[in-house]
């Protein structure tokens, strides 16, 4: 078991985390270990990445999946979204974390859904460069999309089987079938 200091400065966190075997998110001096994901969770994040990468690469944008840190509030709040897209020149060559995301994706699982919908959602919406926030259910075919509107308004869209997800921030339409391709869902509860 790893001893986690009760609180640490941002600088201590960056140095300490580099020496750890797992990822840790940082929120106002406290660190939180990241749990392993399920196979469907991982497959969905990779499907999103695989389908968008060619489109984004040709536009000079970068897309990262899973183990890339996002700076939400400098020196105060850092998370690991499942997928991050940035087209900002500062982020294209980033080495430690992404600072100016255009699109953030979280794949929901029973253990992370509450945090992704509440704490992270509230924090992400304050990022000035963020244009879209996508929540993808790993237990059933369901996608929610929040798109920046005028002023402080965010528009909500939901998608289910057979539909096409329109990602306006990057000019890409993604059939939901490709997102869930080869993803198995639990049909019976194991005892």
Bridge partners of residue 85, in order along the sequence: 63, 103
Give burial (CB, 10 Å; 0-12/13-18/19+) of 63: buried
Percentage helix, strand, coil for the chain under 3-state DSSP, each rounded to 5: 25, 30, 45
Distance CA 131, CA 104 (A): 9
Segments making up each domain of the chain, as ranges: 1-34, 37-179
**102, 86 contact by CB (below 8 A):** yes
**Quick one: 37-179 is in which CATH superfamily?**
tt1808, chain A (3.90.1570.10)
Task: Quickly tell me which residue has 């997928």 as its tokens.
Answer: 83
pTM above 0.85, yes or no: yes
CB atoms within 10 A of CB 124: 20
Q: Classify strands 70-73 and 164-167 as parallel, antiparallel or unpaired.
A: unpaired
pLDDT at 38 over 60: yes
Residue 102: which pLDDT band, with cuts at 50, 70 and 90?
very high
Chain segment 50-82, per-residue pLDDT in tens: 999 999 988 989 999 988 999 998 888 899 999
Residue 36: which pLDDT band, with cuts at 50, 70 and 90?
low
**51, 166 contact by CB (below 8 A):** no
**113, 98 contact by CB (below 8 A):** no
Distance CA 51, CA 56 (A): 10
């Amino acid at each position: 078991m790893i001893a986690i200091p009760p609180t640490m400065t941002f600088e201590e966190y960056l140095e300490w985390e580099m020496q750890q075997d797992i990822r840790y998110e940082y929120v106002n001096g406290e660190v939180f270990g990241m749990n392993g994901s399920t196979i469907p969770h991982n497959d969905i994040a990779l499907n999103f990445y695989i389908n968008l990468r060619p489109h984004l690469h040709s536009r000079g944008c970068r897309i990262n999946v899973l183990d890339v840190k996002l700076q939400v509030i400098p020196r105060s709040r850092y998370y690991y979204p499942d997928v991050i897209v940035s087209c900002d020149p500062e982020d294209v060559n980033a080495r430690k974390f992404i600072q100016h995301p255009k699109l953030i994706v979280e794949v929901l699982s029973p253990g992370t859904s509450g945090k992704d919908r509440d704490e992270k959602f509230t924090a992400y919406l304050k990022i000035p460069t963020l244009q879209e926030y996508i929540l993808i259910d790993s237990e059933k075919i369901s996608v929610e999309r929040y798109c920046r509107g005028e002023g402080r308004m965010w528009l909500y869209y939901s998608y289910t089987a057979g539909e096409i997800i329109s990602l306006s921030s990057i000019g890409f339409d993604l059939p939901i079938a490709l997102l869930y391709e080869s993803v198995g869902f639990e049909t019976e509860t194991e005892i």
